[in-house]
Chains A and B, each alone.
Chain A
Amino acid sequence: MKNAWPILTVVISLLAIWYAGAVWMNAQWVRDQAARAGTTVTVSQLFIGTMNLDRPVLPAPHQVVMELWKTVVDTSITSKRSLVYHAWVTLSATLLGFAIGTTAGVLLAVGIVHNRAMDMSVMPWAIASQTIPILAIAPMVIVVMSAIGITGIVPKAMISAYLSFFPVVVGMVKGLRSPDAMQTDLLRTYNASATQTLWRLRWPASMPYFFTSLKVGVAAALVGAIVGELPTGAVAGLGARLLAGSYYGQTVQIWSALVMAALVAAALVGIIGVVQRATLKRMGMSR
């Protein structure tokens, strides 16, 4: 816990910068209002005014927290005003896509490790695909799938799956190849089949790589689901909240959706981290 103080200091100073920024960026609006009313503002009035605008340029942190409280705690989760409802819409697509993408990625990685032709043909493309802004195809996937009658959670999940697929493939190929020559030779002297080598050596050895790529993949999947919600128009989900907020200038709503997305991302990565630590500890691989 020796890092607790430094982290706390950094977080507090970030919040202080945020407050200062809110005063600075909203000051113009407050002054304009006062000028229109034919009055002048004192410094303290300016400060209070910038903190409590309806549609501030930059909402103060406490406004975002209040909006979050209002939409998370005070609203029933079945209501369309509830941020929990929207977060669940996004989260369900993320998890479905993440599961599909991870499974497909692991299967392809196993294929690549066992089949030389597949390795040489697919692997360069899998690596090259990481330099391509795949997210750009999201609007097309959504629109085309709705044109052939597939709507709802599946198109978003496809984008999430696609985004989490490649990091998992690349990470798992590295992981499945991580046992060194001595270990694979040992299994050969035991006359182990490829399947036995996979289950008894390669798969356990790949676990650290597996969890690392899961963390990358789940973050990518969440971004994919959020962006996937943009082109359908603002229907439901965190991406829709962002878009609706930007249409109607509801900055507080944008920021609260953003904070919610950050919390969801942190929770997903955190859960994987906990599972990782527990698993690696049981396997005797923790550092």
Chain B
Amino acid sequence: MNWLILALVVWLGGWWANVWLSHSARAGTRGVRLLVPAIFGLSLLVIWQGLVRGLNVPQVILPAPSDIAVKMSESLPILREDFLQTFVKGALSGYVMGCGAAVLTAVAIDRSVFLQRGLLPVGNFVAALPIVGIAPIFVMWFGFDWQSKAAVVVVMVYFPVLVNTVEGLRASEAMQRDLMATWGASYWQSLFKLRLPAAMPFIFNGLKIATTLALIGAIVAEFFGSPIRGMGFRISTEVGRMNLDMVWAEIAVAALAGSAFYGVVAVIEKAVTFWHPSQRV
């Protein structure tokens, strides 16, 4: 009963605090902008804890956040091993290969308007398809280990990055290109000094979309077969054994890894495209 009262108090208190904060005079400041979502997230966690404990929800249905935290701290070596297998070996290597191949393809077809006209609609179409479905095929081709996961990731990230890069290479203005021409710049000079830098906001847009896709591809591909480590493997087997605290721990790691990955790409973007209006705050 106490837990339920705590949950209710925190709910109302957090609600009141956020309404007050967001209507206060300082609502626009950076601190409050961070504080409000933090209060929201924390009170959600406490309400979750309170409801699970107060209503005696069995662990096989929904473990309490404290159980998950305990499990996480207990099984750090396993989580680390799974992280290395899925994120570093599977997702990251596939991400680098896929994005690299996509940018190179975009530069390669840059001179051919014909190929661009053909590839862009096809690329846009493929980007909407359920590409994770190729996972079982790639697991057959490349084996159970991380190579097959990296291959799935390559295909998943390739098309969004390709489409964005091709679009970005068209982003420089006619006047800028004319200026390069008046300086007698060669194709490659104008590509490296003007058009690739101008394309960077678009390329990074694709790279950011690809971060989430990479992690999804690596995890889902493990559902189709993997060695006895990896986040997707752990999730599917521990679900079968009803160890839901372990599953939630893996999901927490996946969420942290996903956000951190996105954050790193966003930071690099900020450093590379510092000149773009959207970065000049």
Q: Which residue of the partner chain A has the closest CB to B253?
A: A136
B219 with A133: CB separation less than 8 A: yes
Contact residue range for chain B?
A: 35 or more
Which of A37-45, A95-103, A179-187, A254-262 contacts the other chain?
A254-262
B18: which of A57, A120, A143, A254 is its contact (CB, 8 Å)?
A120
Chain B residues positioned under 8 Å from A137 (CB to CB): 251
Q: Mark A245-260, 1 if CB is under 8 A from B, else 0.
A: 1100101001101100
Q: Mark B113-143, 1 if CB is under 8 A from A, else 0.
A: 0111111011001001110111111011100
A7 with B60: CB separation less than 8 A: no
B33: which of A120, A139, A147, A251 is its contact (CB, 8 Å)?
A120
Chain A residues positioned under 8 Å from B37 (CB to CB): 120-125
Asked if A227 is an interface residue, CB under 8 A from chain B, the answer is: yes
A266 with B251: CB separation less than 8 A: no
Chain A at the B interface: mostly helix, strand, loop or mixed? Answer: helix
Q: Which residue of the partner chain A has the closest CB to B116?
A: A6
Which of B170-178, B186-194, B236-244 contacts the other chain?
B236-244
Asked if A243 is an interface residue, CB under 8 A from chain B, the answer is: yes
A131 with B262: CB separation less than 8 A: yes
A258 with B134: CB separation less than 8 A: yes
Given known contacts A131-B211, A227-B223, A9 and B118 CB-to-CB distance under 8 angstroms: yes
Chain B residues positioned under 8 Å from A131 (CB to CB): 211-212, 258-259, 261-263
Which of B19-27, B93-101, B197-205, B267-275 contacts the other chain?
B19-27
Asked if A117 is an interface residue, CB under 8 A from chain B, the answer is: yes
Tell me the minimal C-beta distance from A77 to chain B in angstroms: 22
B122: which of A10, A25, A258 is its contact (CB, 8 Å)?
A10
A261 to B15, CA, bound (A): 43
A57 to B137, CA, bound (A): 9
A226 with B128: CB separation less than 8 A: no
Question: How many residues of chain A get a CB closer than 8 Å to chain B's CBs?
Answer: 59
Tell me the minimal C-beta distance from A238 to chain B in angstroms: 8
Tell me the minimal C-beta distance from B154 to chain A in angstroms: 15
Asked if B224 is an interface residue, CB under 8 A from chain A, the answer is: yes
Asked if B216 is an interface residue, CB under 8 A from chain A, the answer is: yes
A246: which of B22, B224, B250 is its contact (CB, 8 Å)?
B224
Chain A residues positioned under 8 Å from B232 (CB to CB): 136
B40 with A251: CB separation less than 8 A: no
A135 to B118, CA, bound (A): 32
Q: Which residue of the partner chain B has the closest CB to A226?
A: B130
A262 to B159, CA, bound (A): 15
A246 to B134, CA, bound (A): 11
A3 with B231: CB separation less than 8 A: no
Chain B residues positioned under 8 Å from A124 (CB to CB): 37
A260 to B257, CA, bound (A): 33
Asked if B9 is an interface residue, CB under 8 A from chain A, the answer is: no
Given known contacts A117-B18, A132-B255, A135-B219, A3 and B118 CB-to-CB distance under 8 angstroms: yes
Tell me the minimal C-beta distance from B72 to chain A in angstroms: 15
Tell me the minimal C-beta distance from B105 to chain A in angstroms: 12
A136 with B130: CB separation less than 8 A: no
Asked if A265 is an interface residue, CB under 8 A from chain B, the answer is: yes
Given known contacts A120-B22, A136-B235, A139-B236, A227 and B129 CB-to-CB distance under 8 angstroms: no
B130: which of A3, A117, A132, A261 is its contact (CB, 8 Å)?
A261
Asked if A2 is an interface residue, CB under 8 A from chain B, the answer is: yes
Chain A residues positioned under 8 Å from B128 (CB to CB): 215, 219, 265-266, 269
Asked if B207 is an interface residue, CB under 8 A from chain A, the answer is: no
Can you spell out 26 A-B residue pairs with CB atoms less than 8 angstroms apart?
A: A6-B119, A10-B119, A57-B140, A116-B22, A117-B36, A120-B33, A121-B18, A121-B39, A131-B212, A131-B261, A132-B255, A133-B216, A133-B255, A135-B220, A136-B216, A136-B231, A136-B235, A139-B223, A139-B236, A139-B247, A147-B242, A245-B136, A246-B224, A262-B130, A265-B130, A266-B129
11 further contact pairs, Cβ within 8 A, besides A230-B223, A266-B125: A6-B119, A121-B37, A136-B250, A139-B223, A140-B247, A140-B248, A144-B61, A242-B224, A243-B136, A246-B139, A266-B129
Residues of B in contact with A (beta carbons under 8 Å apart) = 15, 18-19, 21-23, 27, 32-33, 36-37, 39-41, 60-62, 114-119, 121-122, 125, 128-130, 132-137, 139-141, 211-212, 215-216, 219-220, 223-225, 231-232, 235-236, 239-240, 242, 244, 247-248, 250-251, 254-255, 258-259, 261-263
What are the nearest 9 A-B pairs in CB distance? A6-B118, A246-B136, A121-B40, A10-B118, A131-B262, A6-B117, A120-B36, A124-B37, A133-B215
